[in-house]
Chains A and B, each alone.
Chain A
């Protein structure tokens, strides 16, 4: 299908964007457009105005800041995929990148767009949650920072208000103790996941601690499997501990055209075993 008519405005600043969002209640922000334009074509969304934010300066790029890595919201997937800094300091996002869409999609799509859209089966919200990241938001009352665990509120619903713009995300840089794991199952490489899992942990001589398991594709938002996290903590990951962690998965996925709830629960266990193996690998 073709989109219904809308007006288009390319903005040059955040102030201009926030003001326009105030004037046009049903306006939408256009960043990479890889989800938005698909929904426009299907007439699932019908805004009166598209505010193209691609021309705002200073909102793209990847930089090391104190113990963290900051990624501008307009950074395109392909830049993160090819970034040496991401490969070295944020290995979880490096692992996830090739699974996000297809090359032509990654050339346009932005990290900020994917996170703001908050598709429950998308990879980056789960990565952000697993890493304990935070988000910088600009709005009519100024700027604020929100933790990932307070950001994802519900199905396509986030802490962003109607006049807010996500400007950057920040995640802790990996160190020698950091372990990460990522796996997803999809009908076709690059499609949204049937089930996926992004994980991080800290490793020491006693085993794993600070285990964070963020599932996606199993509910209205990305969700942590806290009981399984506890089960993986504090000792060697042997078969017994792994079985206990799988048994402790308290996910409640719903049925859809791709898979039943029971299938998804089973696959969540399969992914946990794969990811636990990755968490035990020493960083090279």
Chain B
């Protein structure tokens, strides 16, 4: 019957995880509190700021708008996993080079969202325009940079990746 506690088994950053969680616990809180993956940041807790963006089954989602209980059987990737795998290495380098972060609070979510755009663009053999980059990033607040440097960094990586393929 219905439960206040749920047993979940999932894969997080390539590792199997089995935990008992409160039904009310969000995915973002589960990652931070239970698994100590604190790269997933919590800003607004109602889906506006994008700081908690993670990947579930290959798609980016708001970690604050999904329950941990819903992730039974899911494949979850956080900034720690995306970073360790090297998938984001060129993006991270471009962000550093162009000062596309200052306090860094929004950066994990921004990187996950940017990689989502670049991955799809690469699959379709397209290079996203600056407008498309801004549109894709519209759900990620950055209160430091004014966004220009972020768009610059993502655009540079998009062009570099497209160039590498040619």
Interface residues of chain A, those whose CB is within 8 Å of chain B, are 1-9, 20, 24, 30, 33-34, 37-38, 40-42, 49-50, 52, 54, 78, 98, 101-105, 107-108, 188-190
Question: Can you report 11 residue pairs joining A to B where beta carbons are below 8 Å apart?
Answer: A2-B29, A4-B24, A7-B23, A8-B3, A9-B1, A103-B136, A104-B50, A104-B61, A104-B116, A107-B59, A107-B61
Question: A68 to B26, alpha carbons, bound, how many Å?
Answer: 38
Q: Which residues of B contact A34 (CB under 8 A)?
A: 47, 62, 65
Residues in A whose Cβ lies below 8 Å from that of B29: 2
Which of B66-74, B77-85, B89-97, B151-159 interfaces with chain A? B66-74
Distance between Cα atoms of A5 and B26 in the complex (Å): 12
Decide if B22 touches A5 in the complex (CB within 8 Å): yes
Which of B6, B26, B53, B117 is A8 in contact with, Cβ under 8 Å?
B6
Contact B65 A103 (CB under 8 A): no
Given A4-B24, A50-B23, A188 contacting B67 (CB threshold 8 A): no
Chain B residues bordering chain A, tally (CB within 8 A): 34
Q: Does B138 contact A (CB under 8 A)?
A: yes
Q: Apart from A37-B66, A101-B47, what are 20 other A-B pairs with CB-CB below 8 Å? A: A2-B26, A4-B24, A5-B24, A8-B3, A8-B6, A8-B23, A20-B2, A33-B66, A33-B70, A34-B62, A37-B26, A38-B64, A40-B24, A41-B64, A49-B2, A104-B50, A105-B47, A105-B139, A108-B61, A108-B65
Residues of chain B whose beta carbon lies under 8 Å from any beta carbon of chain A: 1-4, 6, 22-24, 26, 29, 45-47, 50, 53, 59-62, 64-67, 69-70, 113, 116-117, 134-136, 138-140
Tell me which of B26, B135, B139 has the highest count of chain A C-beta atoms within 10 A of its own C-beta: B139
- Tell me which residues across on chain B come within 8 A of A104, comparing CB atoms: 50, 53, 60-62, 113, 116, 139
Interface centre among B62, B66, B135 (most CB of A within 10 A): B62
Residues of chain B lying within 8 A (CB to CB) of residue A78: 59
Task: Provide the bound-state CA to CA distance between A167 and B4, in Å.
Answer: 27
State in angstroms the CA–CA spacing of A272 and B22 once bound together.
49
| In the bound complex, CA of A7 to CA of B70 (Å) | 13
The smallest beta-carbon distance between B81 and chain A, in angstroms, is: 17
Q: Is the CB of B24 within 8 A of A6?
A: yes
The reply to whether B23 and A6 form a contact with Cβ atoms under 8 Å apart is yes
- Kindly list chain A residues whose C-beta atoms are within 8 Å of the C-beta of B26: 2-3, 37, 41
Let me know if A102 and B139 touch, CB within 8 A: yes
Please tell me which one of the listed residues A7, A33, A40, A107 contacts residue B2 in the complex, with CB atoms under 8 A apart: A7
Give the complex CA separation of A237 and B89 in angstroms: 54
Known contacts A5-B24, A38-B46, A78-B59: A101-B139 contact under CB 8 Å: yes
Across the interface, which residues of A come within 8 angstroms of B134, CB to CB? 189
User: A37-B64, A37-B65, A108-B66 are contacts. A103–B6 as well, Cβ < 8 Å?
Assistant: no
